[in-house]
Amino acid sequence: MTGAEMLERFQRQGSERLARIYPDEQVKDLLDQIVAELQSFSDTAATEPINRLWSEQDLILISYGDSICAAGLAPVQVLCSFLEQHLSGIVNTVHLLPFFPYSSDDGFAVVDYQSVNPRLGDWGEIAAINRNFDLMVDLVINHVSSQHRWFQEYLHDEAPGKNYFITPPKDADLSHVVRPRQSPLLTEVETNRGSAKVWTTFSADQVDTNFSNPDVLLEYIKVLLFYLSQGARFIRLDAVAFLWKEWGTSCLNLPQTHEIVKLLRNIIETVAPKSVLLTETNLPHQQNLSYFGDSNEAHMVYQFSLSPLLLHGLYRGTSLYLCEWARSRCNAPPGCTFLNFTASHDGVGLRPLEGLLPQGEIDLLLHGMEKFGGLVSYKANDDGSRSPYEINIGYFDALKGTWLGDDCWQLARFLLAQTLMIGLRGIPALYLHSLLATPNDHDGVAQSGRARSINRHRWQQQELEELLDDQQSNQAKVFFELRRRLQIRRQQPAFHPDGRQEILHLGEYLFGFWRFSPDGKQKLFAVHNLTEQPRNLYVDGALDGQFNGRWVGLLTGEIVTSERAVIELPPYHVLWLAQQQE
């Protein structure tokens, strides 16, 4: 399909989408402006067809630009050097968390979408990472910093920003609005027109933009195209579920929001068909899945339920809830996939557990995480009460023990968690601090006053390199073993995100599954002992006759044959078995 044909297709798609969002009289002019932007972006040259957007070799690293620092060097330059030295050929994509000028929330209150925070580096340093790694870039689409030019224009009654924000009428019914914070929904500000109350879902410094004004949508389309022009292959839509507001509703997951996400996918498919759209919707499982649409919305959504379910399974020593969820609710539609992760820059979300784990089990988990040094953040409910929203803790320290207390199995338990995650169907993403077994940063919390700082440590390069050189440090043990396992994973076609997955019932203490390559040439069996006790896997009963011939353990090298009736699994052991070719 030529570029001209793709633009023609977009005009049809865009007209339908916009008609579901805006009044008829606004649609044609807005569509013409969007098409003009796309024509400026693309030279309408013929585009090669895209067979697959991903493969088993895709692995994403999540990091702030200043997660590793060294005196006299731009932090992004230090990160680039670390990645090239230690992770080249293993990680192929870097999710560089917001690297723009900001006023709060560690980058998610953006002051300027098209500039690099000079404290981190410049576009040259970003391009240096992009030379060896694909880039994931955040489009922080729901709100801007109160210092952003648009909001300053709003305060001074100047165009265009004076019409870019939301000031509900006094009689607006906001009682049903769902939000993840306890701060006021509306923030009073002084403008040239007098006092006004603006919509602030996340904080007083993060002011929601008004997408009912089509000019706002056009502004964000320009930002999206700019990121694509700077080499972004993955676009992450931050907090997108809160985008559209209507009085009397929850203002969450509204139909207009879904149409805007679909429109952005249509744009990407038109001008950058090798790029991937990812939605960040930290919500109950089924709401999160809704952003796949009918395989026409997000290419990829976060597997938010995995992190807390896996943490609970290892804390309690049971696979029951994890297995039930994975068997019944862990399927992506054709052409879509999950982003699997255990930890990120945020905490371990609790909303994704709704309907999956009894409240008593959640309460036990919260109590245990607080004993392991974690914190619990809360959200406000529409009845005036509050409820736990996320656990703030480093994932390494979250696994220092079980409901029975601290023990000696932290390393093995943590390695199992990461290995189970990278084996599941989808694209794995590892937070830099998981790779480095970073402990809870209580000093960071004390300095910032924010609970999330517990998992946003800034390493000094020299200290980190010394720890990695020390074979007895937790950092070296975790980093080099995970790197070895990731290297093995990349070589297995059965781990292709489009490969079939079959979750097995192996009893209360084991979690296992089959993975199959898309071409059917490789099948791989993975089993995990979620307890501190040795466990036996009885091959004939568990694997229903699929286990024939000679198999090799990819991680541990053992040979297993179908004549071996029982496989012995030490505490927190992981076994990846692939059939040995004749």
Where is the binding site, in residues? 105, 143, 236-238, 345-346, 452
DSSP assignment of 28-39: HHHHHHHHHHHH
* Torsion region of 308: left, alpha or beta (phi above 0 gives left; psi -120 to 50 gives alpha): alpha
3-state secondary structure 450-486: CHHHHHCCCEEHHHHHHHHHCCCCHHHHHHHHHHHHH
- Can you tell me whether residue 550 is helix, strand or coil? strand
Nearest residue to 234 (alpha-carbon basis) of 96, 81, 416: 96
Lookup: tokens for 301? 């959504």
Find the DSSP H helices in 491-574.
539-543
d(C-alpha 97, C-alpha 276), whole Å: 16
The answer for residues whose C-beta is within 8 angstroms of residue 1's C-beta and 6 or more apart is: 9, 46, 47, 49
Lookup: tokens for 460? 């000094």
| Residues of the binding site for substrate | 105, 143, 236-238, 345-346, 452
The answer for residues whose C-beta is within 8 angstroms of residue 216's C-beta and 6 or more apart is: 164, 209, 210
- Helices and strands (H and E) in the chain: how many: 18, 27
Q: Which CA distances in Å does 238 have to 93, 177, 258, 261, 443?
A: 18, 19, 14, 12, 27
d(C-alpha 389, C-alpha 260), whole Å: 27
Pairing type for strands 93-96 and 60-63 reads parallel
Pairing type for strands 386-392 and 60-63 reads unpaired
Q: Which CA distances in Å does 480 have to 81, 409, 469, 484, 582?
A: 17, 18, 11, 6, 31
Catalytic residue, chosen from 58, 134, 205, 238, is 238
First to last CA, the chain: 44
DSSP element (H, E) containing 321: helix 320-329
- Can you tell me whether residue 68 is helix, strand or coil? strand
CA 260 to chain centre: 20
Find the DSSP H helices in 117-178.
123-132, 149-155
Length of the chain measured in residues: 582
- Can you tell me whether residue 211 is helix, strand or coil? coil
The answer for residues whose C-beta is within 8 angstroms of residue 524's C-beta and 6 or more apart is: 492, 494, 495, 514, 515, 516, 554, 576, 577, 578
Strand extents, DSSP E, 142-185: 143-145
Lookup: tokens for 369? 């995480």
Amino acid at residue number 527: V
d(C-alpha 497, C-alpha 59), whole Å: 11
Q: Which CA distances in Å does 22 have to 27, 42, 212, 256?
A: 6, 26, 7, 9
- The yes-or-no answer on residue 134 being catalytic is no
Q: Which CA distances in Å does 446 have to 261, 440, 442, 451, 453?
A: 38, 12, 6, 9, 9
Residues taking part in catalysis: 238
